[in-house]
Structure 1
Amino acid sequence: MTGFPAARPRAPRNAFVPSPVFVGIVALTVVAGWMTWTGFGNVKVDVFLLVISGWLLSLCLHEYAHAIVAFFSGDHEVAERGYLRLDPLKYTHPLLSIILPIVVVILGGIGLPGGAVWVNHEHIGSKAKLSLISAAGPLTNMVFALVLAVPFLAGLGPQIEGTTLLGDSGHLEFWAALALLAVLQITASVLNFLPVPGLDGGNILQPWLSPPYQRAYNLFAPYGFMLLFVLLWQSQLNELFFRFVYWIGEALGVSPALSATGYELMRFWSDWLG
């Protein structure tokens, strides 16, 4: 008796339709950008909204990149879970993927990576595809950083030499927010490519490890974030990390002084604390 091959599961009809939540995030980013550019109301609050909504937008795109590559690599379950709709509320760990990265941005100005898209490895046919799925997220942050850097490379932003502003300072708050967003994307890319268990960099290597090393990796993976915090808590490592990040930023035309100005502006509550 000859049987027919099982049909591949079909994605839900609206699987690729952006969710209302994501559309709202995009709208908030655009409105916050306009408010910052025009100086509407309290410009420091405008900068805060632009940076946080822009960062949240990049987090959605980061996770979407993991999901879309997984989908075309064979795991169609990501569509059933709603990962392809760019809805952060669908993530398996919204605390780690959304809330914690936003808190760390506010407190430390670091684009902390998050991980929440669950991929069924049984549906993925090769180690290379598994590595590509893990790499898709930080690669998206790299692309985002390049897009944000284009105006600076084109000379549209304010010219800064060291910490000295040269020429016109028009719309300084907007450019400072944009510079900070670019630096956040760079930090997220660098951190995500570190070969730390549980992070994207470690997950890129994990499929190629021998079974004993994979078991050890899986044992330490839940503590990858804690290890990252410990490393960044060390003042010397923190200094080296930001030196490397700013070096990349300067290569892209983004001034460290401008991004630092963006971070100070974003912390609007500092005025209330004296």
Structure 2
Amino acid sequence: MAYDRPGGDSLLLGVPRAAFRPSPVFLALVALFVTTGVLAWNQVGNVRLAVFGFVVSGWLVSLCLHEYAHAIVAFRAGDRSVAHRGYLTLNPLKYSHPLLSIALPVLVVLLGGIGLPGGAVWVDRHAIPGRLRHSLVSLAGPATNVLFTLLLVLALRVGTGTGGSIEFWAGVALLAFLQLTASLLNLLPVPGLDGGNMIQPWLNPQWRRMYDLFAPYGFILLFALLWNPRISGWFFGAVFAVGDALGLPSWLYATGFDLIRFWRG
């Protein structure tokens, strides 16, 4: 139901429509993604730099949409605060932890080729009734990564060989690999990450208190797990196995990872 307040601003459930408009920052990221993609496709200028811009801007766009998915599901479930905080404008500068949500994931992409999840939006859990809704809010972000993975793999399977440069398709393959790693990382049942937050509402009170105690250190726990050679081997073995099952060429995303490190010559 829409209402109008004095001054003519239209409201949707008490929230200005401006709270739902994509921000100029997000639109600029999309424009950069498209522009660098066209440059890489046509091999115009420094192709390595174009692929770098294509992958990094594409990854940032996916981060924005990941967090938007959390926010829009939370909004539909009853939390109006996400709109007032600017989360529904897809503006990454509105996130609660821009360092963890933007800078750190991009750095990890460049250094390790891993799609690191980021914690960005605060959700008022008290405004959302029902355990299932809480789990769906947490699931929304990883579901976005899974969808991107499938769409990018489909683009590779359909588009490779029909046009464009090998550099462009290497960038697409790397983006697909990053989305795949982000999907699996986000779904790990680690306190503070999306996978852990999905199961948190279903824990008994004693386990929930223990979960809440460890949740603020989710990233540290994640790094500790991946630092363990055995656990890291299991995880990346699963990533590569799923990638192979989807038909994602390992040599192509490895080429993309080499291209984005343009400073190495």
- Give the TM-score taking structure 1 as reference length: 0.89
Relative distance call for 1:25 and 1:169 in structure 2 (3 A) is closer
**C-alpha distance in structure 2 between counterparts of 1:259 and 1:244, whole Å:** 16
- The 5-angstrom pairing of residues 41-80 of structure 1 reads 41-80=45-84
- The 5-angstrom pairing of residues 82-97 of structure 1 reads 82-97=86-101
* Misfit runs of 4+, over 6 Å: none
Output one character per residue of 1:237-272: Cα deviation in whole Å (capped at 9) or x when no partner.
33332222122222222101110110011111112x
- When structure 1 is superposed on structure 2, of 207-216 and 137-146 the one drifting more is 207-216
Cα deviation for residue 184 of structure 1 reads 0.3
Count how many residue pairs are aligned between Structure 1 and Structure 2.
Answer: 254
Q: Which residue of 2 aligns with 1:243?
A: 237
Cα deviation for residue 9 of structure 1 reads 5.5
Q: 1:153 aligns with which of 138, 143, 157?
A: 157
Q: Which residue of 1 aligns with 2:3?
A: none
Output one character per residue of 1:15-56: Cα deviation in whole Å (capped at 9) or x when no partner.
110000000000000001001111111111111101100000
Output one character per residue of 1:93-115: Cα deviation in whole Å (capped at 9) or x when no partner.
11111111111101100000011
Q: 2:225 aligns with which of 221, 231, 235?
A: 231
Structure 2 residue identity aligned to 1:70: A
**C-alpha distance in structure 1 between counterparts of 2:170 and 2:43, whole Å:** 13
**C-alpha distance in structure 2 between counterparts of 1:81 and 1:70, whole Å:** 13
Q: Which residue of 1 aligns with 2:214?
A: 220
Structure 2 stretches of 5 or more lacking a match? 1-11
**C-alpha distance in structure 1 between counterparts of 2:59 and 2:75, whole Å:** 24
Structure 1 residue identity aligned to 2:160: G
Q: Is the 8 A contact 1:183 1:246 kept in 2?
A: no
Structure 1 residue identity aligned to 2:72: I
Structure 2 residue identity aligned to 1:174: F
Structure 1 stretches of 5 or more lacking a match? 1-7, 159-167
In the alignment, is residue 113 of structure 1 matched against residue 117 of structure 2?
yes
Q: CA RMSD in A?
A: 1.6
- When structure 1 is superposed on structure 2, of 35-44 and 20-29 the one drifting more is 35-44
Q: Which residue of 1 aligns with 2:141?
A: 137
Q: Which residue of 1 aligns with 2:5?
A: none
**C-alpha distance in structure 1 between counterparts of 2:164 and 2:59, whole Å:** 24
Q: Which residue of 1 aligns with 2:194?
A: 200
Relative distance call for 1:219 and 1:256 in structure 2 (3 A) is same
Q: Is the 8 A contact 2:42 2:164 kept in 1?
A: no
Structure with higher helix content: 2
- Give the TM-score taking structure 2 as reference length: 0.92
**C-alpha distance in structure 2 between counterparts of 1:170 and 1:120, whole Å:** 45
Q: 2:26 aligns with which of 22, 26, 33?
A: 22
**C-alpha distance in structure 2 between counterparts of 1:177 and 1:250, whole Å:** 17
